[in-house]
Amino acid sequence: MSTTSGVSGLLALGWDDGWASALEELGDPTVRPARVSRVDRGICTVMTGTAEVRVATERSVEVAVGDWVGLAPGPTAGGRSRIVVVLPRRGVFRRAATARGAAPKLVAANIDTVFLCDALDGSLSLRHLERFLALAWQSGATPVVLITKSDAVLPAIVTEALEAVRTVAEGVSVVVVSSTTGDGVVDVAPYLVPRHTVALLGLSGAGKSTLVNVLAGAEILATGAVRRDGSGRHTTTHRELVLLPGGGLLIDTPGMRALSVLGTGEGVEQAFQDVEVLARGCTYASCSHSGEAGCALAEAVSDGCLDRSRLESWMRLRSEPASSGLEKARGDIAERKRRKAAKFVDRRAART
Domains and CATH numbers, the chain: 4-88+329-351 (2.40.50.140), 92-252 (3.40.50.300), 265-319 (1.10.40.50)
- Half-sphere exposure (Cβ direction) of 168: Cα atoms closer than 13 Å: 26
pLDDT at 246: 87
Q: What percent of the chain shows pLDDT beyond 70?
A: 75
Helix (H, G, I), strand (E, B) or coil at 350: helix
DSSP label of 191: G
pLDDT at 78 over 70: no
Quickly state the pLDDT bin for 238 (edges 50, 70, 90): low
Angle, CA 175 vertex, CA 198 and CA 183 arms, to 5°: 105
88-114 per-residue burial string, b: 16 or more CB within 10 A, e: under 16: ebbbbbbbeeeeeeebbbbbbbbbbbb
pLDDT at 31: 93
pLDDT mean over 163-192:
92
Phi, psi of 111 (to 5 degrees): -105, 135
Q: For residues 236, 237, 240 and 244, what is the CA-based torsion angle, rounded to 10 degrees?
A: -10
pLDDT at 332: 46
pLDDT at 261 over 70: no
pLDDT tens digits, residue range 108-146?
999 999 999 888 876 677 888 898 898 888 888 999 999
Which of 31-40, 86-95, 300-309 shows the lowest mean pLDDT across its residues? 86-95
β 32-40/68-72 pair status: antiparallel
| Mean residue pLDDT across the chain | 80
pLDDT at 275: 92
Strand ranges in 41-88 using DSSP code E only, listed in sequence order: 43-47, 52-57, 68-72, 82-86
pLDDT at 93: 81
Quickly state the pLDDT bin for 1 (edges 50, 70, 90): very low
pLDDT mean over 151-166:
92
* pTM score, whole prediction: 0.76
| Closest by Cα among 262, 207, 280 to 92 | 262
pLDDT mean over 163-187:
92
Cα separation, 63 vs 251, in Å, equals 15
* CA distances in angstroms from 52 to 10, 197, 214, 302, 345, listed in the order given: 12, 17, 22, 58, 24
Cα separation, 167 vs 189, in Å, equals 25
Higher pLDDT, 91 or 113: 113
pLDDT at 264 over 70: no
Is 195 in contact with 247 (CB distance < 8 Å)?
A: yes
Higher pLDDT, 346 or 283: 283
Cα separation, 142 vs 138, in Å, equals 10
pLDDT at 188: 92
Is 111 in contact with 123 (CB distance < 8 Å)?
A: no
pLDDT mean over 193-211:
86
Cα separation, 205 vs 191, in Å, equals 22
| Closest by Cα among 244, 189, 252 to 13 | 244
Higher pLDDT, 318 or 280: 280
pLDDT at 102: 57
Cα separation, 329 vs 136, in Å, equals 24
Cα separation, 232 vs 255, in Å, equals 8
Tell me which amino acid residue 37 is: S
pLDDT at 168 over 80: yes
pLDDT tens digits, residue range 51-67?
999 999 887 788 999 99
pLDDT at 204 over 90: no
Q: What percent of the chain shows pLDDT beyond 90?
A: 40
